[in-house]
Amino acid sequence: MSKKSFFSFFIATFEILIDNYYGFINNTQVAFIIKSDKDIKHLRLNKDAQRNDYFKVEVKE
C-alpha cells in the first residue's frame, strides 16, 4: 500500500469516529464529512451529494 493510499484510508477511517463534520487540510487537499443538508448547501456540492459522503476538493491558492 502506497503512503498516499494509506493516508486516504486513515482519513476515511478516522471520519467514522467523530460526530460532526470537520476539515482536514494537507497541502492542497481538504476532506469533509457531511452531517446535514445545511452542510451540503453551504459547501455548494452537486445535487447528488448525500449525508456522510466522503469527498476531496482542491484548494486554489
Q: Are 39 and 54 in contact (CB under 8 A)?
A: no
Enclosing domain of residue 23: 3-58
- Other Cβ atoms within 10 Å of 30 Cβ, number: 14
End-to-end CA distance of the chain: 30
Q: Over its length of 61 residues, how does the chain's per-residue pLDDT go in tens digits?
A: 455 554 555 555 444 444 334 444 443 344 555 555 555 444 544 445 555 555 554 444 4
In the block, cell 452531517 appears at 35
Q: How far apart are CA 51 and CA 33, in angstroms?
A: 8
Looking at residue 35, what is its pLDDT? 57
* Stated pTM of the model: 0.18
Q: Are 50 and 32 in contact (CB under 8 A)?
A: no
What is the number of domains present in the chain? 1
